[in-house]
Structure 1
Amino acid sequence: MVDGRLNAEAIWSDLEAVRAQAPLVHSITNFVVMNFNANALLALGAAPVMAHAHEEVADMVAIAQALVLNIGTLEPDWISAMQLALRAAQAKGIPVVLDPVGAGATPYRNQALQALLQTGAPSVLRGNGSEIMSVAGLAAATKGVDSAASSHEAVGAAQALARDWGSVVCVSGATDHVVDAGGRHAALSNGHPWMTRVTGVGCSASALIGAFAAVQPDRWRATVSAMACLGVVGELAVERTQAAGAGVGRLQIELLDGLQLLSHDDFVARLKLACHG
């Protein structure tokens, strides 16, 4: 248990809401992670749709309960499709999650992010330390799409972004930090380093945030709930994988199984959450 603002039981009720309501999450995401992200949403209990054609993105947003934008594999048509979807989501009033994959790595990637941010501020921004610091305009080294900065180093940048945009900002890493414009700050310490060796786990975190934000109107709480569930699931999945004498190939399956089969007792016993502000 943590302080009265948010605890394991409250987070578990958000997970139950996702399972009961099966919200439709519209993702415009990258080729590398599309399949894994869709399966992660299905395993959680949500419903995924992966659509990026200009001719249908606004119509797809019209029937969705959340929109997730991921810039991992960029091309101009996808960015303009994201802008169309973002405008439609804001007009409808559904949450928008932006994953700035590889922010700071190339000028084109930064220009694409700037175009999206000028279209509208996201409800939630989730990235690793380097990505969040880059979006905030700070000098941060990147190694492809991996982070060269710790999540702790990026907390100040995340807080500044939250204040400037009124968005929830999540910095993922060994400890996940979730902040909002009102000064709330949650730190989550579950997970395992092996999770970084399966492509799409970080991007799936953004997708899961979309599912939780679809059923929980407090975007900060929704983001904390999503990251908490994924962290506990990952921790348990690595333990099962190692007990079987297997490696990260098996871990992909264990992560999906864990999202579907996570139990109340395991979650409550495992959660490592500290709330401030």
Structure 2
Amino acid sequence: MCFTTVSMNYDNAACQSVLHRIRTQRPFVYGLTNYVAATLSANVLLAAGAAPAIGAAPGWATGFGGHAGAMWINAAGLINCTAQDMHDAVTAAQGNGVPWVLDPVAMGAGVSQYDAIIRDLASGGPAAIRGNASEVMALAGGSATAKGVETTASITQALPLARELASSRGVIVAISGPEDHILAPDGRHVTVPGGDPMLTMVTGMGCALGGLVAACLAVTPTGPDRLVAVAAAHALYARAAEIAARSAQGTASFATGFVDALSRLQQTAGPGASG
């Protein structure tokens, strides 16, 4: 397989086109995530222009999972919903052609029962898997161990296993880090530079990124364009973080500034215009 690597940031017209489609189409995005990250995830999706619903109220997993524009499952959502809720949502999404994103939070941290549930979910045909280096390595069958929800591995270590995971599962794999890496099953590879270290200091930032990836997939047809959609979510995140960091007094003001910055990107502009 021939690996082709390109770089993308927010200034790329394809990235801005994805954001424009979210703002104009306002896709319904359903998520099962943990209560720590739920509010930030909803605010991030609203800031981008999507319409979120989060949680496992009676009937939501099958009803929303089957009728959303896209869905994301954050494995740490098991602290406030059940594995059955997640399986029901995946089954509903599969049955109705709804693209969904798996975030294998804390995969490989040494909790075998938890890891087994994530592996089972991963067999349900996600359109994309998004995590840190340790999580992706663990899901791909590597020996990396995470430190709770934090990575102990580098992206360089994770890339070979991530490529194998993308190829063998037919899924887009995104690894978050100082520079994000997004890999397609056909060998294409997009890097997304930028962002800010404070992204790692605010609870739920990675979790909310999974929701934004789902929003980008919701407005992108099936096929090769989905790699661009997943990369666009990371590029939007990086640019909003850079803007927020300019005036942040600390991590709390950074979090608020991040949502503000995301909401103002290309707020009234058409595709291809800068935000």
Q: What TM-score, normalized to structure 1?
A: 0.89
Q: Is the 8 A contact 1:54 1:81 kept in 2?
A: no
SS of equivalent to 1:126:
strand
- Matched residue count: 263
SS of equivalent to 2:13:
helix
Residue 117 of structure 2 aligns to which amino acid in structure 1?
A
SS of equivalent to 1:48:
strand
Residue 235 of structure 2 aligns to which amino acid in structure 1?
A
Structure 2 equivalent of residue 108 of structure 1: 113
1:147 paired with 2:151, answer yes
User: Which residue of 44, 47, 53 maps to 1:49?
Assistant: 53
Q: Is the 8 A contact 1:8 1:268 kept in 2?
A: no
SS of equivalent to 2:78:
coil
> Take 1:107 and 1:64, find their aligned partners in 2: how far apart are those partners?
31
> Take 1:200 and 1:35, find their aligned partners in 2: how far apart are those partners?
9
Aligned-residue offset at 1:150: 1.7
Residue 64 of structure 2 aligns to which amino acid in structure 1?
M
> Take 1:60 and 1:76, find their aligned partners in 2: how far apart are those partners?
18
User: Which residue of 181, 184, 203 maps to 1:180?
Assistant: 184
Residue 258 of structure 1 aligns to which amino acid in structure 2?
A
> Take 2:257 and 2:81, find their aligned partners in 1: how far apart are those partners?
35
Aligned-residue offset at 1:43: 0.6
Percent pairwise identity: 35
Aligned-residue offset at 1:121: 2.2
| Deviates further, 157-166 or 75-84 | 75-84
Structure 2 equivalent of residue 204 of structure 1: 208
The root-mean-square deviation of aligned C-alpha atoms, in Å, is: 2.4
For residues 268 and 177 of structure 1, do their structure 2 counterparts lie closer, same or farther at Cα, with a shift above 3 Å needed?
farther
User: Which residue of 107, 117, 123 maps to 2:122?
Assistant: 117
1:226-245 CA-partner distances (Å, limit 9, x unpaired) = 0011011111111121xxxx
> Take 2:14 and 2:86, find their aligned partners in 1: how far apart are those partners?
32
Aligned-residue offset at 1:63: 2.9
For residues 54 and 256 of structure 1, do their structure 2 counterparts lie closer, same or farther at Cα, with a shift above 3 Å needed?
same
Q: Any stretches of 5+ residues in structure 1 without a counterpart?
A: 271-277
Structure 1 equivalent of residue 240 of structure 2: 233
Give 1:71-150 correspondences, 5 Å limit.
71-75=75-79, 78-105=82-109, 106-118=111-123, 120-150=124-154
For residues 205 and 21 of structure 1, do their structure 2 counterparts lie closer, same or farther at Cα, with a shift above 3 Å needed?
same
Query: Which aligned segments of 4 or more residues in structure 1 are displaced greater than 6 angstroms?
Result: 2-7, 267-270
User: Which residue of 209, 221, 230 maps to 2:228?
Assistant: 221
SS of equivalent to 1:74:
helix
For residues 5 and 51 of structure 1, do their structure 2 counterparts lie closer, same or farther at Cα, with a shift above 3 Å needed?
closer
SS of equivalent to 2:76:
coil
SS of equivalent to 1:27:
strand
User: Which residue of 24, 28, 34 maps to 1:24?
Assistant: 28
1:114-140 CA-partner distances (Å, limit 9, x unpaired) = 22123x121100000000000011111
Residue 259 of structure 2 aligns to which amino acid in structure 1?
L
Q: Which has the higher contact order (CA 8 A, sep 6+)?
A: 2
Aligned-residue offset at 1:54: 5.2
> Take 2:32 and 2:140, find their aligned partners in 1: how far apart are those partners?
23
Aligned-residue offset at 1:61: 2.1
Residue 109 of structure 1 aligns to which amino acid in structure 2?
Y
SS of equivalent to 1:85:
helix
Q: Is the 8 A contact 1:27 1:69 kept in 2?
A: yes
1:260 paired with 2:267, answer no
Structure 2 equivalent of residue 274 of structure 1: none
Q: Is the 8 A contact 1:95 1:123 kept in 2?
A: yes
For residues 133 and 21 of structure 1, do their structure 2 counterparts lie closer, same or farther at Cα, with a shift above 3 Å needed?
same
| Deviates further, 143-152 or 251-260 | 143-152
Q: Is the 8 A contact 1:53 1:81 kept in 2?
A: no
Q: Is the 8 A contact 1:237 1:251 kept in 2?
A: yes
For residues 268 and 151 of structure 1, do their structure 2 counterparts lie closer, same or farther at Cα, with a shift above 3 Å needed?
farther
> Take 1:214 and 1:56, find their aligned partners in 2: how far apart are those partners?
18
> Take 2:27 and 2:188, find their aligned partners in 1: how far apart are those partners?
26
Q: Any stretches of 5+ residues in structure 2 without a counterpart?
A: none
